[in-house]
Amino acid sequence: MRSVTSSIRISPQLRERLEETARHLQSGKNRIITQALEDYLDRVNRDRFLADARRQSILASAADADDEFWAQQADTTGWK
């Protein structure tokens, strides 16, 4: 996959942690940053998906209560 270059600003302390981790893992800093960013974005998208699923579940449960209310109120005499 083709890649592009981006510039970011980080604190000296974070840079040192990144360099220490890269040495410990014997990995490139780019690889660590890319993996961390992918993991973070996946988590944000998953959290957004779960929040939407919870919202829809709440709406569906409220709709069920409304459906039951309207079913009791409906005049269905003469329906087949």
**At 27, phi and psi to the nearest 5?**
-135, 160
The predicted-structure confidence for 11-47, as pLDDT tens digits, reads as follows 999 999 999 999 999 999 999 999 999 999 999 988 8
pTM reported for the whole predicted model: 0.61
CA distance 10 to 24: 20
Q: Which among 13, 47, 19, 45 has a CA at the least distance from the CA of 33?
A: 19
The predicted-structure confidence for 47-59, as pLDDT tens digits, reads as follows 888 888 888 887 7
The rounded Cα 62 to chain-centroid distance in angstroms is 24
